[in-house]
Amino acid sequence: MLSYDTIKQHPEKFLSCTSFTPNEFTDLLVAFTAAWNVYARRTYVNSGGGKPKLPRVEDKLFFILYYYKVYPIQTVMGAVFDISQSQVSHWVGVLSPILRQSFDYTRCLPETRPQNVKDALEACDMHDFIIDGTERERQRPGDPDEQKAYYSGKNKAYTSNNILIVDANAQTVVYLSPTYEGTWHDKAICDAEAYIFPENATLQKDRGFQGYEPQNTITYQPKKKPRDKELPLIDKFINSVLSNSRIAIEHVICGVKRLHIVKDIYRNRRDGFDDLIMEIACAMHNFRHKHRSKQETIDMFAMT
């Protein structure tokens, strides 16, 4: 049986199991405890019986973080934590919204409402942004119409799509779009959601957003090599600069997909759960990045 008390003694294993260091876990536990207490006062009923398998709040937080990071099938998850598969399903359903609420308390959640994009972007210190789409593979739907909707010709698989708008300087996810079926193109999602950017903001995009030019925004996109011709030297230089700066969003997406629940083939069938897990994955990246950036600043001042 895996437990918080045993694994916290091994920081490397703890990081592999949760994507957080023990110190980051302790900081998150404060917000998670507050969110759990709100839930418990409203809905939780102690039915008595035997000793509970997840008796403490830290056990519950470790359980749900392990599920998101490792994403085992629920039968295996039950064996790891010595509970039944039905209990695993119950606790995943209960603890996921509580985990989301804890990130709301820490102000790490990305904005998810298209009509509020401008306000979220204006709150950033600098108005330099990068936009990109990310696909997540999912199980083949049983319904023929859903199969057609989720089939991605690009990846030859059944996928879900999300658009991310990233603060290029803070390297955090500012906006996360709702989840779209795999047939949706990146630009089509942007056109449908009609984002409004702060005036004179800069936006880097790739060729998947060809033709997307939001108002009052300075956009940058790599130039494509003409057929049977060479790119001018200046265009090659600009493409190189843009490629180097776009590494930021690749690092962000890599941080989001550190969790196997959004990296592996998605197999849950709860309504709205695919939106929830992606929102939590972005919030976990934001929390880690903010926490570690703050720690790097503290260490730098300590050295001086």
pLDDT digits (tens, 9 = 90+) for 167-184: 999 999 999 999 999 999
Residue 147: is its pLDDT beyond 70? yes
Can you tell me the mean pLDDT for 113-140?
94
Prediction pTM value: 0.89
Across 80-94, 102-116, 238-252, least confident range: 238-252
pLDDT digits (tens, 9 = 90+) for 154-171: 778 999 999 999 999 999
pLDDT digits (tens, 9 = 90+) for 24-52: 999 999 999 999 999 999 886 555 556 77
Distance CA 251, CA 79 (A): 34
Angle at 284 between CA 281 and CA 287, to 5 degrees: 155
- With residues binned 3-state (H G I as helix, E B as strand, rest as coil), the percentages for the chain, rounded to 5, are 55, 15, 35
First to last CA, the chain: 45
pLDDT digits (tens, 9 = 90+) for 239-249: 677 677 778 88
Residue 10: is its pLDDT beyond 60? yes
From 52, 31, 6, 11, select the one nearest 290 (Cα to Cα): 31
pLDDT the model gives residue 300:
44
Res. 232 pLDDT band, cuts 50 70 90: confident
pLDDT the model gives residue 298:
54
Res. 301 pLDDT band, cuts 50 70 90: very low
pLDDT the model gives residue 283:
98
Distance CA 276, CA 178 (A): 9
Q: Spell out the residues 6+ positions from residue 263 whose beta carbon is closer than 8 angstroms to its own.
A: 136, 257
Of 242 and 207, more confident: 207
Please state the domain extents for the chain.
4-105, 114-297
Task: Give the residue ranges of DSSP H helices in 44-143.
Answer: 57-70, 74-81, 85-105, 117-122
